Amino acid sequence: MRALVQRVVEASVLVKGQEVGRIGPGLVVFLGFAGDDEDSDSLFLVEKTVNLRIFADSENRFNRSALDVGAELLLVSQFTLYADTRKGRRPDFNRAAGAEQAREAYEKAVELFRNTGLTVATGRFQEYMQVLLQNDGPVTIMLDSADRNRPRRG
């Protein structure tokens, strides 16, 4: 599972010209699911995302998390996070989970994020969306649940 996390001043998502989700200060989290993801991948990324210290403290240092500041979250499914561009010019999405598997994983992830107590808005799964955001910083961080199994050095 992958999450592209962007700290924002505000963000919204439109489907067919209609706003379906809006947040104030917080995080836009684009979520992508792989075919071999398990529940533990979602648990890891939700925990990592809401506890990631990317909000400034009184000394303007990254010392506060989304939980610490009561950030709002906008969750958007995005299978393109699994694009493989190593060969040719057209991205390959074979590692991305199929639609039904990804829908289930997305719905579970949304539930896990809501269980944190933070305000959560969402896009719509498998819909063409327009995401409008005002990046704050800018701060943009890629998270991958596979990283938890990799050594930190070497």
Domains of the chain: 2-149 (3.50.80.10)
The residue annotated as part of the active site, out of 6, 79, 113, 122, is 79
Closest CA to 54 of 11, 8, 7: 7
The residue annotated as part of the active site, out of 80, 126, 130, 140, is 80
The residue annotated as part of the active site, out of 6, 49, 78, 122, is 78
pTM: 0.95
Catalytic residue list contains 113: no
Catalytic residue list contains 33: no
Task: Give the pLDDT of the chain (154 residues) as one tens digit per residue.
Answer: 999 999 999 999 999 999 999 999 999 999 999 999 999 999 999 999 999 999 999 999 999 999 999 999 999 999 999 999 999 999 999 999 999 999 999 999 999 999 999 999 999 999 999 999 999 999 999 999 999 988 877 6
Catalytic residue list contains 55: no
